[in-house]
Structure 1
Amino acid sequence: MSDSFTSTARKSSTTTHVLSLADGAIHYTAIAEWQPLYEREKAIAEIFHVAYLVDHQGSTPRPLTFVFNGGPGAASAYLHMGALGPKRIAFGEQGDLLRPPVNVVDNLESWLSFTDLLFVDPVGTGFSRAVSPEKEEAKADEKPKSEKPEEKETEFWEVERDLKALGEFIQNFLSKHNRWLSPIFIAGESYGGFRVAKLARKLQQEFGVGLSGAILISPALEFSLLEGTDYNLTTWATVLPSMAGSAAHHNRAQLAGENLQTHLAAAESFARKTLIPLLAMGDALPEDERQQAYQQCANLIGLPVTLVARHGGRIGIEVFARELLRDQQRIVGLYDASITAIDPFPDRPLYEGTDPTLDGLDRLFTGAINSHLRGTLGVETNLTYHLLNFDTFKAWKFELKGGLKQGFIGAVDDLRVGMTLNPYMQVYITHGLFDLVTPYFASNHLADLMKLNPAVRPNLTIRHFQGGHMFYTWEASRHQWFGEMMQFYNRAIA
C-alpha cells in the first residue's frame, strides 16, 4: 500500500469528551477522519467516519461496532444522532418533531455504555467521496466547483462494490487501530440492514473478520417483498399487520382483543390464513367468502369495506396513508404511520404532498450532524455533508448474479450462510410496529422460512417496538431497546 496519499489526506480531528451517566462517567476519544481506499496502490476513495473509543484499562478489549445507515444514499447520521452516539436529537415523547432550531442533548442511552462505536458514511454520503486520479495531488480540503457525482463515484453505487468497499474499510480500520482481537459487531438500518445481512457472510468468508453479532434495524431483506402487484401475494400480507397496528393507534380499527398486541396477533393470523388464500384464489373464491374476508380486513385496518373490496384486498401503503384519516383532512406517514400531517390538497384524487416522516426529519438531522461534526468534534472541511444523497439512490445498481438478470435481489440467503459459518454469531432483527415501508411482519415471515438448524436458531432474536422506521425516536422504545441491546451484547461476548 502506498503512503503517498497521506501527504494530501484531509485533516482529521481527535478530541476527548465525557458522557455523564447516573452510574458514572464515560471518558472517550472521538476520532473524525477520512480513511482512503486503495486500488493498485492508488487512492480511489476517502471514507469519512467517526469513531468513539472509550478509555479502557481492562485486560480484554472492548466490543467494537461498525454502524451504517441505508438509502442507499443515506449517511450514518440517523443512527449517529438519533440513537447510538453520545449526543442525540431531542424528540417528543412519541417521536414528535419539535420546533426549530434542533436541540442536541447528551444521550443517556448511548451504546458507548457497552461498545465502542464507529459510524461509517459510504461513498457519496456524508463527507465521503471518490478520488479522481487527476485530483489526487490537489489541495486536500479544496471544495470542488461542482459536487455532482462523477463516473468514478458511481462505480461504488452498486451492491457488490459497496460491500467490498465496506469490507476493505473495516479491515483497514482494525489494522490501523489494532482492534483485530476485539469482539466485532455490525449494525445497519433500512438498506443498512440489507448490508448487515450480506456482510454477515462476506466479512467472514472473504475478509477474515469474525463477527460476534449482527444487528439489523428496520431492514429491507428481500426486495421482492417491497413491491406489490396483481400477481404476487406475500407483499400485501406482510404489510397488513403494520396497517392494523397503525389503525389501532389512531383508534380507527375495531380492536381484535384487549390491546395492541392482541390486535396485531389477529392481523398476523388473518394475513397468513385468510388474505393469502383470498389473493391466491382470485375470482375462483365464492363471492360471499370474498366479502366476508373484505369485512374482516376493513375491521382490522380501519378503512371502509367498500374501499377494501374495490382494491380486492390489495391495500397499498399510499392508499392507506391517504385514506385512514381522510375525514380529518390528514395523512399518516409512510415510515411512521403514527405521525400525521395536514393534507395540503384534500380535494385531489391522489396525494401530492410530502411524507412527514421522511422530509420532516431532514432539518433536524442536517442541523444536528453539521453542528456536532464541525463544532463539537472540530472537523474542518468545506465539503457539503450529504445526509441523504438522491443521486446515489437513483443511480444505485441492483445487479443479480448469473446469466439471467431477472427477479429481485435479496440478503436472507447470505444471513443464513453467515449464521452457519459462525454458529456463535448472535443476530438481532428489530422494527417499528408502525413502519409501512419496511414492515415488521416481513422479517417475521422470512425468519419462519429460513430453516435454521436447531443449533443456531437460538442465536436469532426478533423484537419490535412501538414507533416507525426510526422507532428509537420514541422515548419508551429507545429505553426498552437500550436495555435489550445491553443484554444482547453481554450474551454475544459471554
Structure 2
Amino acid sequence: MTSDQTGRGAAGDHEPPRGASTTDTWNGLAYTASAQWLVLREEDTPTAEVFSISYLAQDPPAERPVTFVFNGGPGAASAYLHLGAVGPQRIDLPADGSVPAFPPVLVHNDESWLAFTDLVLVDPVGTGFSRYVEDGAAHADAGADRGQQKSGAHPGGSGDGRGQYFGTVRDLKAMGDFISRWLSENGRWGSAVFIAGESYGGYRVGRLTRHLQETVGVGLNGVILISPALEWNQLEAFMGRGDYAVEPWIDALPSMAAAAVHHGRSRAFKPGTPPAEVLRAAEEFATGEYASFLTRGASMPATDRERVINRYADLTGLDARLVARAEGRVGVNRFKRELLKDTRTVLDVYDATVTSPDPFPDRDAYEGAEPSLTAVKAVFTAAVNRLLRTEIGVVTDRRYEVLNDDLVAVWKNDEAQYYFQGCPGATDDFRHGMAVNQHTRAFITHGWYDLVTPYHTSERLRNLMRLDPATARRLTVRHFPGGHMFYTWQESRRAFTDALAVFVAEATSR
C-alpha cells in the first residue's frame, strides 16, 4: 500500500485540512482510497468542511456505479458501515457479531461492496472529521491543520455553522450539496448513483430519495435503507410511552417474541424453533387479536382481554401479571430487563440476542450501557483512527467523532410551523421520490432482533404505501438474522452482500 498527502484546498479564501490518498488492490481490483475534506458554502461563504473516504476503482472508474454511504444518529460517522460491512477492510469480528478483544484488528473484507460499486463514506457535519466553520474561520492560518483552530468540533460554538446544519431539512440540503459537488469534482455525473444509510441514515436516505432528484437534480438508480427509522412514532414502544398509540406496540412484538425464543424463555415455542415460524405467528397475533386489544381498550370483554394478555405473555416470555399491569404495553426498555431478570442479565435493545450483566439490579431504572452501542463505539473508534491516520496517512489534530451525542441534543425539526407539529417521517418523501423516477429501485432491510427499529415497522409501512404494481416490483424488502447492525453477523453480512450485488446489477441494467 502506498500513500501520499494531498492538499485539495477549496478555491478562494478558505482551505480545508490536507487530505491523503493511497492505492491498493482488493481481490485483484486496483483502487485508490482517498480521505478528503470538501468545503460547503452559502453564497460563497465557507460554512462547513465535510470529510469523506472514497474507494474508487482505477480502471475504468467512470463506468462503475458510485454509492454514497451514511450512518445514523443523527451524530454518527460512517465508520460503522465502513468497517463493519462495505469497505475493502473490516474489523475482525466474531461470527455472531459480538464485541472483539482489544485492540481491534483490520482484515480483508471478502464481502466488500467494492465488488460492484465505488464507495464514498460520508461523515455529516459534526461527525467524523467534519466540522462547521465558525465566523472568521475563512481566514484561518493555512500553515497548520487548516480550519482546525476555528472550525467547530461540537455543537455550541459561537459561529453560525450549527444553525445551518443540525436539523432535518438542513441536513438534507448539506448532503445533497455534498453529493452534487463530489460528482462534479470527480467527473462522475455519468455514473449510476446509489445512496445507502443506516438507522437515522435510513431516514436521511428515504428523504433524499425525493430531495436529490427533485431539488438537486441527481438521478438515483437505487436507494438502500438499512434498519431505517422511517417514522418517529415507532419509537414510542422503545421509550415505554404511548398509552394511546397502536402501531409501535404491534411492530415491537415480533422481535420481542424472537428474542424470547432465542433465550429459551418463550412459552409459545420450544427453543430452536425456526425464527421464520416464530415471526410469522407473532405477526399474525400482533396484527390480529393484539391490534384489536390495543384499539378497543376497556371495551373489550374481560375474557377476551385475559386471553390476549396471556398469549402476549407466552410469546414474549414475560410474567402475565406484569403484562396485565402494563395493560399489554410492555416497553422495550422494560422488556430487555425483565426477560432474564432472574439471572441479573439484560438484553441489548440494538441486538436482543446480546446480553450483559445489570450493574445496578436494585435500581428502578436501568443505568447500564448497551454493549452493541457503547462497547462497539470504542472498537470502531480505534479501528477507523488506525485506518485513516496510519494506513491512508491523514494528518490532523482533530478527534474522529464516531458518535457525537452532543449533536443529537441540539438536532432540530426545522420544518415545524406550529408548536404541536411533530417531526415528519420519511415515508412520504420516499414514495414521492420513487414516483418521480420510475427507474429508481429500493432495498429496505432490518435485523430480526432489533428492538429499536423493528423490522415489522417497514413491513407494515410497505403495506400502507399504496404502491402501484410496477412501483412495488421496484421495492425489495428483506431481513436477516441479527440486530440493528445485523451485518456484523458473518452469515448475514454474506447474504446481505450477495443480495445487494443482484440489486445493483438490476438497478444498472438497461
CA displacement at 1:295 relative to structure 2: 0.9
1:210 to 195, 219, 239: 219
**2:140 counterpart of 1:132:** no
The corresponding residue for 2:422 is 407
Deviates more, 1:224-233 or 1:212-221: 224-233
Q: How many equivalent residue pairs? A: 488
Q: Distance in 2 between matches of 1:255 and 1:488?
A: 37
1:292 to 275, 297, 307: 307
Please report the RMSD computed on the Cα atoms of aligned residues, expressed in angstroms.
1.7
Alignment of 1:385-396 (within 5 A): 385-396=400-411
**2:344 counterpart of 1:341:** no
1:77 to 61, 79, 94: 79
Consecutive unaligned residues of structure 1, counting only runs of 5 or more, are: none
The corresponding residue for 1:14 is 21
CA displacement at 1:405 relative to structure 2: 4.4
The corresponding residue for 2:29 is 26
Q: Name the aligned partner's letter for residue 52 of structure 1.
A: Y
Task: After superposition, give the CA deviation of every residue in 1:152-193 in whole Å (9 maximum; x if it has no partner).
Answer: 232210011110010111110101111011000000000000
Q: Name the aligned partner's letter for residue 96 of structure 2.
A: Q
Q: 1:224, 1:408 within 8 Å by CA — same for their partners in 2?
A: no
Percent identity between the two aligned chains: 45
Q: 1:2, 1:41 within 8 Å by CA — same for their partners in 2?
A: no
Alignment of 1:176-187 (within 5 A): 176-187=185-196
Q: 1:124, 1:153 within 8 Å by CA — same for their partners in 2?
A: no
Q: 2:90, 2:108 within 8 Å by CA — same for their partners in 1?
A: yes
The corresponding residue for 1:243 is 256
Task: After superposition, give the CA deviation of every residue in 1:361-417 in whole Å (9 maximum; x if it has no partner).
Answer: 111000001000101111111111111111110100023355564234201000000
- Normalised by the length of structure 2, the TM-score is 0.93
CA displacement at 1:247 relative to structure 2: 1.0
Q: Distance in 2 between matches of 1:43 and 1:408?
A: 29
- Normalised by the length of structure 1, the TM-score is 0.96
Q: Distance in 2 between matches of 1:413 and 1:199?
A: 11
Q: Distance in 2 between matches of 1:117 and 1:425?
A: 19
Q: Distance in 2 between matches of 1:323 and 1:256?
A: 19
1:66 to 51, 65, 68: 68
1:154 to 156, 162, 176: 162
1:473 to 457, 478, 488: 488
Consecutive unaligned residues of structure 2, counting only runs of 5 or more, are: 1-8
Task: After superposition, give the CA deviation of every residue in 1:253-296 in whole Å (9 maximum; x if it has no partner).
Answer: 13458421111001111111011110111111111111110111
Q: 2:180, 2:216 within 8 Å by CA — same for their partners in 1?
A: yes
SS in 1 for 2:257: helix
The corresponding residue for 2:178 is 169
The corresponding residue for 2:201 is 192
Alignment of 1:285-434 (within 5 A): 285-403=300-418, 405-434=420-449
Q: 1:429, 1:463 within 8 Å by CA — same for their partners in 2?
A: yes
The corresponding residue for 1:86 is 88
Q: 1:435, 1:469 within 8 Å by CA — same for their partners in 2?
A: yes
Q: Distance in 1 between matches of 2:301 and 2:295?
A: 13
Q: Distance in 2 between matches of 1:111 and 1:63?
A: 11
Q: Distance in 2 between matches of 1:45 and 1:351?
A: 38
Q: Name the aligned partner's letter for residue 202 of structure 1.
A: H
Q: 2:67, 2:195 within 8 Å by CA — same for their partners in 1?
A: yes
Q: 1:9 to 1:407 in 2, by over 3 A?
A: closer
Q: Distance in 2 between matches of 1:324 and 1:198?
A: 36
Q: Name the aligned partner's letter for residue 43 of structure 1.
A: P
Q: Name the aligned partner's letter for residue 29 of structure 1.
A: T
Q: 2:99, 2:372 within 8 Å by CA — same for their partners in 1?
A: no
Q: Name the aligned partner's letter for residue 238 of structure 1.
A: D
